[in-house]
Amino acid sequence: MKERKSDPAALIEADKGQQAVQLHLVDRKSFDAWLKGQPERVRSAAVGVADSAALGPWCLAKAAEALPEGRYRIEGASPGAAALGWLLGQYRFDRYKKEPSTKGPRILVSSDPARIEDSVLLAEATALVRDLVNVPAGDLGPAELEAAVRDVAKECGARVTVTSGRELDEGYPMVAAVGRAATPERAPRLIEFDWGDERHPRIAIVGKGVCFDSGGLDIKPSSGMRLMKKDMGGAAHALALARLIVKSRLPVRLHLVIPAVENAISGNAFRPGDILPSRKGLSVEIGNTDAEGRLILGDALTRAGEAGPELIVDFATLTGAARVALGPDLPALFVNDDALAADLLAAGTLVSDPLWRMPLWSPYEEMLGARRDALGPSRHLRLAALLEARKAQGRRGLGPPRGLPRFVRPLPPLTKRMLFRTKFQRLTKRKPI
């Protein structure tokens, strides 16, 4: 198997007058008039877009995929935000193909060279997320995820710390419990990545790294298990965001935390009804072993909060209920700070990558306590989209629902994004945080 890695930086270049095919952008209103004014042989290509006067990120993606190899220039306009779609339209995952595509690059000549670097960094970040999620679980377990973090850290000059074995059992007992049923070569671990100047504001990024989720003893049906290689999408997203922050030279002190596990089944798997200790010192009753994400994130968020960050951003594939509510295109957002939520929603709209804020409804919190009568998983699962940032008092953040804020008290601003696709266009403005 040969893996062909595309290089977004090679797919866009500054306009220096080089020869290139002209791309004329037309929309429904302008197409007829444009066509009537063309000679029989036209040495340019017409590209249909929704609005030729306001290009969005994905306007050129299909053209980049369909056009033949060569150089192209948008006639009379800058690609602007559409440069990102041009780069991502050429993304291919060829690692397992015997004969990868031999189609050559389609290079965009841009009249706005100042935006090229940002477009390339976003495309590289997106490609990293896609590559990690596309690799099947048999080839990407906790060890391989650790290796990916180390590769990025080496490139960025960051420091990596990995906790495993007995130290993980003692320091991060919920991460250890979820991952203990896996084979030794796929043992659980907590991966940390530190970068930046101590004088700058500290931010923490946490990503759920369940490299495969069988559901544990509360096993998933085959239909639910089929795509569980993507259950580490939160970790992939967090790692790519960390790289993007470093490459964008943002003035922050960055702390990335990834709990990496496989939720497998064996004789020593954790069980429904078990009561687990946590790094925070709280005891957690297990209602369903397929709710493993909040367990590993509980320990990871505790670790992230110990360093006193001003912001915590938490990415996770939690849960299917959010997808039922919002569909595949709107990531669910849980935030404990209204001003931060407004900024995020506005930023998502600005880059055509919207979020949808979900409620953190305080009256539901009392339903999280353990029942003294029959203990069943349904009660906990019905609460699956609620609680995380509820306990946040004082500092803000993007964070998960489901009681996780209890593990990072006192909370900074806590933000949680529930990921269902790997678009990567948020939190990327090059300005101080």
Which positions are catalytic?
220, 294
**Which stretches of 165-290 are assigned E, i.e. beta strand?**
189-195, 202-207, 209-213, 253-263, 275-277, 283-285
> Residue 206, Cβ neighbours under 10 Å: how many?
32
Distances (CA, A) of 418 to 52, 118, 244, 399: 33, 25, 20, 9
- Nearest by Cα to 21 from 102, 106, 91: 106
| Pairing between β-strand 21-26 and β-strand 70-74 as defined by DSSP bridges | parallel
Give me the amino acid identity at 281.
G
Q: Is 70 left (phi over 0), alpha (psi -120 to 50) or beta?
A: left
CB 65 within 8 A of CB 89: yes
Which SS3 state, helix, strand or coil, does residue 388 take? helix
Is residue 135 within 8 A of residue 229, CB to CB? The reply is yes
Please state, as a whole number, how many other Cβ atoms lie within 10 Å of the Cβ of residue 20. Answer: 16
Task: Show the beta-strand stretches assigned E in 171-270.
Answer: 189-195, 202-207, 209-213, 253-263
Are 212 and 228 within 8 A, CB to CB? yes
Name the CA dihedral angle for 80, 82, 83, 87, rounded to a multiple of 10 degrees: 170
Contacts of 54 (CB under 8 A, 6+ apart): none
Structure tokens at 39: 């000679």
Q: What sign for the dihedral angle of Cα 57, 60, 62, 66? A: negative
Beta-bridged to residue 71, according to DSSP, are 107
Q: Within a 10 A sphere around the Cβ of 227, how many other Cβ atoms? A: 11
